[in-house]
Amino acid sequence: RPTIGVLALQGDVREHAAALASSGAEPRLVRRASELAGLAGIVIPGGESTTIDKLSRAFELRDPLVAALRGGLPAYGSCAGMILLADRLVDAPPDQQTFGGLDITVRRNAFGRQVDSFETELATPWLPGGSFHAVFIRAPWVESAGPAVQVLATAPDPHGGPDHIVAVRQDGLLATSFHPEVAGDPRLHAYFLELVVAAGPRPGLE
C-alpha cells in the first residue's frame, strides 16, 4: 500500500484520509516537515486556502513541501487544495501565497460568489463509470491553463455562460474544484493512486 500524506493543518483531513484508505493507500497525516519523508504522494484537502497557507508558513512546512513538489512528489488538491497547487490566483488577497506546481490560473470563490454550493453530474470518461457526482462548496474554477495541463472535467456556468474547468492534471499533479472526499466515492482517489504509481518509484511506494 503506497503511503500517501494528507496535509493536516486545516480542512477536511479525515475525509481524505478515509477516502485514501478505501482506495488502497496508507494515509499519513502531515503537520511537520519530517512527516514528508518517505511519502509516495500527498493530498492537499479542501478547507480555507488562506488559513492553510498561513499555517504552512507558521509550521515551517511551506518550504519543505514546495521543495518536495518541485522534486516531483505527486499531489492531489481538492478545492482549497486546488488553489494551493496553482501557480497563479485571481481574486485572492495580495499576501496569499500558494505552493504552486500546476501551470494554471485559479479564481477563488468563483462559483461561490453566485451559488454557495451545488452538486452536479460531471462527465469523466477517464474514470470507470464515466461520470462523477461532484459536490462544490464555495468552489474555485480554473480560469486558464498552460499547454502542459490536461483538462479533465468542466462544469456548467451558473448563469448559462461557457463551461468552466473544474478538474486538471499535469504529470503527477491533480486538482479538482469539487470535493470527492465528501461523497463516499473513492474513484477519484483511486485515480490519483494510479498517477502516483505512474510517477515511478518513490520511497513510500510499495
Binding residues: 47-49, 108, 137-138
CB of 46: closest distance to ligand GLN in angstroms? Answer: 3
CA dist., res. 171 & res. 200, Å (int): 11
Pick between residue 38 and residue 93 the one whose CB is nearest to ligand GLN.
93
Q: Contacting ligand GLN (CB under 6 A), which of 16, 108, 164, 189?
A: 108
The amino acid sitting at 126 is W
Strand 86-90 relative to strand 41-44, pairing: unpaired
Does 49 interact with ligand GLN (rule: CB under 6 A)? yes
For 76-137, the three-class secondary structure string (H helix, E strand, C coil) is: EEECHHHHHHEEEEECCCCCCCCCCCEEEEEECCCCCCCCCEEEEEEECCCCCCCEEEEEEE
Does 46 interact with ligand GLN (rule: CB under 6 A)? yes
Per-residue x/- marks for ligand GLN, 136-175, CB under 6 A? -xx-------------------------------------
Pick between residue 27 and residue 47 the one whose CB is nearest to ligand GLN.
47
Which residues are annotated as catalytic?
79, 179, 181
CB of 137: closest distance to ligand GLN in angstroms? Answer: 4
Q: Which three cell numbers stand for residue 19?
A: 477516502
Does 102 interact with ligand GLN (rule: CB under 6 A)? no
Interacting positions 78-97 with ligand GLN (CB under 6 A): 79-80, 83
Name the DSSP letter for residue 20. Answer: H
CA dist., res. 167 & res. 178, Å (int): 8
Pick between residue 45 and residue 204 the one whose CB is nearest to ligand GLN.
45
CB of 35: closest distance to ligand GLN in angstroms? Answer: 22
Hunting for cell 497547487 — which residue is that? 85
Residue ranges of the binding site for L-glutamine: 47-49, 108, 137-138
CA dist., res. 34 & res. 134, Å (int): 34
What separation in angstroms does the CA of 189 have from each of 62, 81, 112? 23, 14, 24
Q: Give the binding site for ligand GLN (CB under 6 A).
A: 46-49, 79-80, 83, 108-109, 112, 137-138
